[in-house]
Amino acid sequence: MLTDAHKTKRLASALKFLNRYSEEGNEFLNKIVTGDETWVCLVTPQSKQQSMEWKHSRSPTKHIQGILLVEFLPRGETINAVRYSETL
């Protein structure tokens, strides 16, 4: 559940985005990068062993410039705020 402070921040961000879009048009939209965290099960054909890795796709699926970054964490590691900040 979002607090009133979070809602206010989101509204302010949305208004900034709208203002920049009205000033810069599609050039502004082309600069936006989003992120996704997805569990992916990898299979090695030689050994048929599965390894679970975090896959980080740092771009929308239909990005104009394509995928910007895919990063796999070592087995057993988890993503946290510090690790996420280091990647960015």
Per-residue pLDDT of the chain (88 residues; tens, 9 = 90+): 889 999 999 999 999 999 999 999 988 988 887 777 666 665 555 554 444 444 445 444 555 667 777 777 888 888 888 887 887 7
Contact, 58 vs 33, CB < 8 A?
A: yes
How many domains is the chain built from?
1
Q: Quote the CA–CA distance of 64 and 83 in Å, as a whole number.
A: 27
Q: Distances from the Cα of 68 to the Cαs of 5, 17, 77, in angstroms?
A: 32, 22, 22
Evaluate if pTM is beyond 0.85: no
Contact, 75 vs 51, CB < 8 A?
A: yes
Question: Among candidates 85, 47, 88, 44, which has minimal Cα distance to 68?
Answer: 88
- Range(s) of the domain holding residue 12: 4-87
Structure tokens at 87: 């990647």
Contact, 60 vs 79, CB < 8 A?
A: no
- The residue with tokens 């990647």 is 87
